[in-house]
Amino acid sequence: MKKTLLSILLGFCISIGKLSAQDILPKDSSEWINFLQIQNQIPGLGYQLVFPPSLDSLEVQTLKLDLTKSDSGWVSGIREDFSLLAQVESDRVNFKLLYFIFSSQNSEEAVREYISNLMRNGDFDPVTQKVKPKEDLVALAVKSPYAPVFGNRYTFTADLKLFVVTLIIGFFFITALLMIISMLILKARKNRREILKKEYEEMIVDPLTNLLFEKELEELSKMKKADYDPFFPLNYLSKPLYQDVLIHSIIGLNKKMKGEFKEKLKAIYHQLGLDKVSAAKIRKSKWHIVSEGLVEINEMDLVECLQDVKKLSDSSNFHVRSLAVSALLNLSEKSDLSFLRDQTYPLSDWQQMNYLRIIKFVSAQKQLKIEMLFDSKNKSIRIFGIKLVRILGRVDLLERLASIASQASTEEKIEILKAYQEIGAHMEVDFINQCLQEEDLELVEQAIETAKSLGDENSVILLSELFQNTDDFSTQLLILKSIYELDKGKFDEMTLNKEDSSRLKIRNHVLDPKLVYV
Amino acid sequence: MYSFLFYLILEVVGWMFLILSFLVISVNMVMMILSSLEMRDYLRKNQFADYGDIITSPIAPGVSILAPAFNEGQTIVQNVKSLLSLHYGKFEVIVINDGSKDDTLEKLITSFELEKSDFAYHPDIDTQAVRGVYKSPNRSYRRLIVIDKENGGKADALNTGINVANMELLACIDVDCILSSDSISRMVRPFMEETNKKVIAVGGVIGIANNCDVQDGTVTTYRVPDTTLGRFQVIEYFRAFLMGRMAWARVNGLMLISGAFGFFRTDIVRKVGGYFPKTVGEDMELIVRMRRFMCEEKIPYKVGYVPDPLCWTEVPENKDVLARQRNRWMRGTIETLQLHRKIKLNPKYGIIGTVTYPFWSLFEKNAPILEITGLIYTSILIFVGDFSAVYFIALLIMMYLLSLLVSSFSVLYEQIAFNHYKDKKDLRKLIWMILTEPLWMHPMVVWWGLKGHWDFIKGKGGWGSMIRKGFKTAEDKRNLSTQSTS
Amino acid sequence: MKKILIIEDDLLISSLVQFRLKKDGYETHLVKDGNEGIKAIDTLNPDLIITDVMMPFRSGIEIIHHAKKSQPHTPIIVLSSLGEEEQVVLEAFNLGVADFVPKPFNPNELAIRVKRALS
């Protein structure tokens, strides 16, 4: 890079120098004469040769220049052919030149000026070459030492370029080739797997159907692995893909079956040793295999893996963590939620959704200690606990909620308000009114919403105060909706007989039955 | 020696192109790797996901579907019906009639028993006047809201919908898109999954429905389009959606969510002031502005991406229409980059400022210009008989090969992940397209891009002075609209 | 022998149902998707149809529509993983299906319902 920069600079200087015509003309007098000689003729330029008077007539004769004698010495006629000078020079006689530009005499300085003018205008192109060297060119070349002058810079960078290009092409082709080959292999493997999977799936259907209908649950759980050989051949059973297909089929069926069939499927799963396969999966290091194992444990109720699952419930991998907690919720006997309480990672909505589904299912059979979650150090868990009160309709926990409400954070308060609203906790109206006076807009909006169904006379007063103090249109709409539900007279008073067109607009909106679901 | 300077320039430019092509190649390689990693993780994740839950769970967020309609009378009723039958618990469909000249509104009113309501429309975001908000007293159409407004363009129509929307999430779609019935539940998942970052938007894949069989909102039989223009776009869409955006999603650098199918968090969209109607690239501009906003507020955030095929659309198979579309895309890109040039190489804006922005301005905005200069350069080298012309021809061939590689990678990718085009003949047609496309389709796209540049310079469309000035902060747009209302 | 058409895309489920119904002495026919289902209704002229509401190519609703039009007296039993309150299921009831069996289900129970629908 440095080199390139340097050559840019250098090249720039040189080219600027070369561009000026004045500098093409040599300064040195003998070179100047040489320059003129090479040119032969320069348009409009003539010259006279002046020899010193000391020249004798014999010498004048040998010059053959038709010299005439004058005051300053021997003078020739005006000539234009500068090649004559070579002859004169070779005779080694001193002489001077008088210059004529278009027949009027001028100084050497003026001639230089004149020539450079001609060159600039393009009227004259000086011959720069020396006259052919008299010696042999090859002999000369041999004598001069090798010095790469200007071509070398090109060959050098050109080589580097060649190198870079080859490098890129090489890199490119190798990666491209590798990628395409691996893709093709992957595709072929996948295709083969697909075909095999289909084959196995069809193989499994009949024996599984037979087992489920022809055998009783007790028979199935007494059968040894070897007894299953006629149904699921043992040599196939050792193949991972076959195992996979079998596990998937049994789990898929288990999801869609009810009653004794579920138990039968579980018995088959155990007797075939597939529970061991699932248990081994959750000890693997790859998260997606662990996750698969967790799903299987959860679906097939493999209670014996509970200890291992517990260890995974605080895993740093999101999927492993949430699946482990799901499995725990489903399997643990005591319906103890302490492991959930002690979670350090924040709960995402996705996890909450999955846990909720299981908790809903489990809480039908046993009373869960949801209040445990209120003591969690993890805010998102506490919020989830409050949500559960609302969604499961746990009226018995309202008192607990009321006790934590005053110290709760804004988000928790919002959740508590939602729970009150859904369950219909009329006794907590003071808390709602208190929230109406808070700073946080989101909390206030939820309080307005909750007041709609649970508010009292105080709420109406607070709401109308709030209405005076807000410019926000959507908040105003919300407030008036609540006031309409609580006190129709107040609503009319606030929206009718007013010049304010926006209040009338809101009034019509609130009264439009079509907009109830909006 | 007189031409020294000339050669010097040739030399320097030569190096520039060499470095540039090296960049192009390595960027493509990196993207291939990133996208395959992301795809692998996604497919693994999907193995044990149960989407049935989201439909009924009370934890799942509500979704407002915004569908602007302009002169859609022919198809509007069928389209709205299929939107209303999507499998999801909590959602509303807001159709915005953007001053249609045909009978779009009338058809909606009769088919869905609509009546004009007393909806108190209050524009948070400044829009064209609303003529009426329609609802149906019939309970089975309770999810539908139809807004009738003065014409103001797609962005303006969407802004009107944003003002009316009641749900946590917005789904901005083209009304003529075919959505698969589980599309909402799949697109909502990324919003629900994140624990300590806020997911502000999620983008989806757009599939090409031309020549395919469609039933119940899902493409049942895939067939490659009949025209070469259509086939070219199949390849292009694979490259963009399966490779490009997957890779960007991996590093949380997504800067474009297709306007035909994108999900957003309502509160953030409102905070930044909705779409900017003065640009032709409103979909890209909104995402950039939202990301900027999150950076400026210093809230950790993410833009998600779902590679499942959930949305299909008919792409233009007519050359003029396609040319106009590409021209518009180019102008949209230039305008967005202009508007947000403050984030360029600014570490405050994280990956979007330091990586995505420079990438877009080099490889998307300036690509046609660079390609043309490269071509001119090579022809000059050939003309003056410079020896290095050989390398540049080699370089051109290499670029051709790169294009083959990337395209075939994307197609193989599709084959492995989804395997939609089952017919071997279709695959052969696509491969033929891959081979020939760089020779004649690509130059055309470059040409349309150049035209886009030219139209931008001439100031066609868009909003000249504002765009030239750019936004100082992400909230500028909001201030802008409040100023014009007061 | 009564003919029963089973339209169901899950291979295991359908063969379980088929096995159970064969035991009760019915002639059963199995198809995997909606398109085949519609064809089979016309060619087979079954005495009872068991169908899912969500399946490839054609929705269950379309099939019920078709069946009700071409053979209005053939009873239809809907077998589905969707809840009873789901929109599609309600729609199916409106079209006049004989019975609804939600998944998870018990094949023995299904057999009883089939018997009842055919009597």
Q: What are the tens digits of pLDDT across the range A316-330?
A: 888 999 899 888 888
Q: Both tokens of residue B22?
A: 């090296």
Q: Are B247 and B241 in contact (CB under 8 A)?
A: no
pLDDT at B486: 31
Q: Is residue A56 part of a domain?
A: yes
Tokens 């303006």, residue?
A: B156
Mean pLDDT of chain A: 81
Q: Are A91 and A65 in contact (CB under 8 A)?
A: no
Asked if residue C61 has pLDDT above 80, the reply is no
pLDDT in tens, A424-442: 888 889 999 999 999 899 9
Chain C closest-CA separation from residue B123 CA (Å): 34
Residues of C with CB under 8 A from a CB of B: 56-59, 81, 83, 87
Q: Which residues pair with C5 in a beta bridge?
A: C29, C49
Residue B2 forms contact with A (CB below 8 Å):
yes
Q: Find the residue in B nearest to C34 (Cα).
A: B215
Residue A249 forms contact with C (CB below 8 Å):
yes
Q: Which domains does chain B have, with CATH numbers?
A: 52-318 (3.90.550.10)
Q: How confident is the model at residue A85 (pLDDT cuts 50, 70, 90)?
A: confident
d(CA A437, CA A463): 9
Find the CATH number of the domain harbouring C8.
3.40.50.2300
Region A468-492 average pLDDT: 90
> Which one of B1, B11, B265, B400 would you mutate to disrupt binding with A, by most A Cβ within 10 Å of its Cβ?
B11
Q: Is residue A338 part of a domain?
A: no
pLDDT in tens, A439-459: 899 999 999 999 999 999 999
Q: Residue C111: its chain A contacts at CB < 8 A?
A: none
CB contact under 8 A, B220 and C81: no
Residue B432 forms contact with A (CB below 8 Å):
no
Q: Is residue A205 part of a domain?
A: no
Q: How confident is the model at residue B360 (pLDDT cuts 50, 70, 90)?
A: very high
Q: How confident is the model at residue B204 (pLDDT cuts 50, 70, 90)?
A: very high
* Amino acid, single-letter form, for residue B118: D
Cβ of A250: how many Cβ atoms within 10 Å?
22
Region A129-158 average pLDDT: 54
Region A289-314 average pLDDT: 89
pLDDT in tens, B17-32: 888 888 888 899 899 8
Q: How confident is the model at residue A130 (pLDDT cuts 50, 70, 90)?
A: low
Host H or E run for residue B67: strand B63-69
Name the domain count of chain A: 1
pLDDT at C86: 63
CB contact under 8 A, B216 and C58: yes
User: Which DSSP string do the residues of A122-185 spell out, in sequence order?
Assistant: TS-----SPPPPSS-HHHHHHHSPP---SHHHHHHHHHHHHHHHHHHHHHHHHHHHHHHHHHHH
CB contact under 8 A, A257 and C81: no
Region B82-107 average pLDDT: 91
Asked if residue A153 has pLDDT above 60, the reply is no
pLDDT at A517: 60
Asked if residue A12 has pLDDT above 50, the reply is no
Asked if residue B361 has pLDDT above 90, the reply is yes
pLDDT at A218: 83
Q: Residue A15: its chain B contacts at CB < 8 A?
A: 1-2, 4-5
pLDDT in tens, C66-77: 888 888 888 999
Q: Are C77 and C117 in contact (CB under 8 A)?
A: yes
Lowest mean pLDDT among A97-101, A130-134, A408-412, B68-72: A130-134
What is the side-by-side strand order in the sheet with A68-69? A68-69, A74-75, A45-51, A96-101, A104-106
Name the residue facing B1 among A18, A502, A508 (closest C-beta).
A18
pLDDT in tens, A160-183: 767 777 777 777 778 777 877 877
d(CA A390, CA A424): 10
Chain B closest-CA separation from residue C62 CA (Å): 10
d(CA A408, CA A379): 10
Residue A209 forms contact with C (CB below 8 Å):
yes
pLDDT at C55: 64
CA distances for A323 relative to A338, B45, B116, B149, B194, angstroms: 17, 12, 48, 48, 15
pLDDT at B485: 36
Residues of chain B with pLDDT > 70, as a percent, come to 94
Alpha helices for B61-196 (secondary structure H): 76-84, 104-111, 154-164, 183-193
Name the residue facing B18 among A161, A176, A323 (closest C-beta).
A161
Region B307-312 average pLDDT: 90
d(CA B432, CA B413): 17
Give the ipTM.
Answer: 0.87
Residue B267 forms contact with A (CB below 8 Å):
no
Residues of chain B with pLDDT > 90, as a percent, come to 53
Which of the given ranges, A154-158, A402-406, B283-287, B402-406, has the highest pLDDT on average?
A: B283-287
For A470-499, give one letter per residue: b (16+ CB within 10 A) or e: eeebebbbbbbbbbbebbeebbeebbeeee
Q: How confident is the model at residue A15 (pLDDT cuts 50, 70, 90)?
A: very low
CB contact under 8 A, A205 and C103: no
Residues of B with CB under 8 A from a CB of C: 52, 56, 85, 215-216, 220
Domain that holds residue A105: 21-143
Q: Find the residue in B nearest to C91 (Cα).
A: B140
Q: Both tokens of residue A38?
A: 């090479």
d(CA B187, CA B309): 11
Asked if residue C81 has pLDDT above 50, the reply is yes
Q: Is residue A66 part of a domain?
A: yes
Q: Is residue A25 part of a domain?
A: yes
Domain that holds residue C36: 3-118
Report the half-sphere exposure of A324 (CA within 13 A, side-chain side).
28
Asked if residue B296 has pLDDT above 90, the reply is yes
Residue C93 forms contact with A (CB below 8 Å):
no
Q: Residue B215: its chain C contacts at CB < 8 A?
A: 57-58
Q: Is residue A4 part of a domain?
A: no
Q: Residue B56: its chain C contacts at CB < 8 A?
A: 83
Q: Find the residue in A nearest to B163 (Cα).
A: A474
Q: At what angle do helices B367-384 and B389-417 cross, to 10 degrees?
A: 150
Asked if residue A340 has pLDDT above 50, the reply is yes
d(CA B293, CA B303): 13
d(CA B45, CA B31): 21
Asked if residue A131 has pLDDT above 70, the reply is no
d(CA C34, CA B213): 14
Tokens 């395959």, residue?
A: B36
Residue C105 forms contact with A (CB below 8 Å):
yes
Q: Both tokens of residue B42?
A: 């996604």
Chain B closest-CA separation from residue C32 CA (Å): 15
pLDDT in tens, C44-57: 889 999 988 766 55
Asked if residue C34 has pLDDT above 90, the reply is no
Degrees to nearest 5, angle at CA B114 with B110 and B120: 150
